[in-house]
Amino acid sequence: QVQLKESGPVLVQASETLSLTCTVSGFSLTNYGVIWVRQPPGKGLEWMGIIWRNGNTDYNSALKSRLSINRDTSKSQVFLKMNSLQTDDTAIYYCTRDSGFITTAGYFDYWGQGVMVTVSS
């Protein structure tokens, strides 16, 4: 069955770099786009970026200078790296799948459990 699971450090120091991994199963990264979404505690959802089926990426313009997403299709893993972290980057980070098979649906049908990342000053 389709699963996504985020992993990475739960505590990061301010000004350092966050590295998260999304390991997927039950589908191929060459057939579906994977998106990163974050949610500050008690707040709403923010789209961060996407890695498309062909490996191209798009980023939220507010994060673009600090964010990169890439993948290893042989390991079914998607990687997020964001540098120059600040305390307002404290959030739950989710990876999720675009529901379109070999196309783009634009809505997200499977989500990981999320990883709570705290940025400490």
The footprint of other proteins (CB under 8 A) covers 35, 43-47, 50, 58-61, 94, 96, 99, 105-109, 111-114
How do beta strands 108-111 and 91-98 pair? antiparallel
- Tell me how far, at minimum, the Cβ of 94 lies from other proteins, in Å: 6
Q: In sequence order, what DSSP letters do the residues of 58-115 get, joined into one string?
A: EE-TTTTTTEEEEEEGGGTEEEEEE-S--GGG-EEEEEEEES-SSS--SSEEEE---E
**Nearer to other proteins among residue 19 and residue 60 (C-beta):** 60
Output the six-digit token pair for 62: 């507010």
**Nearer to other proteins among residue 72 and residue 109 (C-beta):** 109
**Nearer to other proteins among residue 3 and residue 30 (C-beta):** 3
